[in-house]
Structure 1
Amino acid sequence: MEEILKEITDLVVEGEDEEVPKVVQKALDAGIDANVILREGLVTAMDVVGPRMASGDMYVPEVLMCADAMRAGLEILNPILAEGDNASLGKIIIGSVEGDLHDIGKNLVAMMLESSGFEVIDIGINQSTPRFEMAIEEHDPDIVALSALLTTTMPALKETTKALKEKGYRSKILVGGAPVDQAYADEIGADGYAEDGAGAVVCSKQLLNIA
């Protein structure tokens, strides 16, 4: 069992999106539980990819290939996982703030959060404050992740964070994006800041007191 799970992990890290589903299916056919395949095959790969990305040993195009491979494996597992009682670590809404049309960074963060066990609802790019409010009221998330990839959209990040805080939602607010840093996150009153996908996973777990 360990050998086939390691093969899945290695294939995801290598970005082999065509091979991962085949080996995931082989693992299922061998009687390995879908949850075990998820945790010890797919998610374990993210434990490799995250630190490599953070250290600069792996770049965004490579990480996106890993994301595609992860997603391909999840497509095989999701119907099976949906049948069971698989509680997520928490629910997260993610989106880029108004005026920001960039989605690669946001998508990468969403993928890493999802592959780490969070339920992620991606509302997309260029989202106004009222749109985030509607999503919160509809889904009641534990965390709202706001992305700003341009210096020109940092004011929108501040505005949305302020508005959500004033509404008194229970959701924690996590912010990130190329021009954003911890100091700015503190300045606008966000609950957490993440530099990248790996950081978003760590910060989200901290915000929800998950070991």
Structure 2
Amino acid sequence: MDEASARPESISAAEFHRAPGVTDWRVTGSGPQAVFTATSLAHSARFVAPIVAAAERFGVLPDIDVRPEGVVVRVAFGDEGIPAAATGFAAAVSEAAADLSLTADPSRVQSVGIYVAQHSQVDARRFFTAALGYEELGDTDAVDPLRRGPQLAFNPITGDTPSRGRTHFDVFVPADQAQARVDAALAAGGRLADDSHAPAWWSLASPDNHGVDIAAWTDTYD
């Protein structure tokens, strides 16, 4: 029996964080993620082979974003939650990063979603999937097939004025970074629209009243 098959099928964010060796990682709206800074593109590229080896060892399929500034590694949510094998994979990746002198920077971890609010009698998803080249996901969402762009969520507003768009951004950040992100946005001219759900999420508005939710709940749910 391999290491992945010996584990339960999926775990929560809290269970993920209780596993050994995952302190570099945070759970955002797109799954467990870590950012490792590098000194050059070549430095980042040397990290790919150990990541692939860990992925094959633990039976996960991560997204790897290689940049001159560093490498972003993410394990997407499964149908029921975080794949249990993600903990062993994450620990192995962090160990490989340390061996290559790549430094984890949890403050850079985030994922962005766009919440497309629509009138209850309108189905805007077909338009957005066509315009962006996205694919439908479930009953209400749409995604970039290669997971490059933000996920879209389409939710009707009953009784809203037809032909009036009310779209806002969902920014998923680590729980230990959320308050600092909120404070920075407020200091930059934003206003607090609703903090009744904090520290799960805060609803902010830009100076011209565009909405942004800073969400941390994905990093702590159990």
TM-score for the superposition, normalised by structure 2? 0.28
**More helix, by proportion:** 1
Q: Which has the higher contact order (CA 8 A, sep 6+)?
A: 2
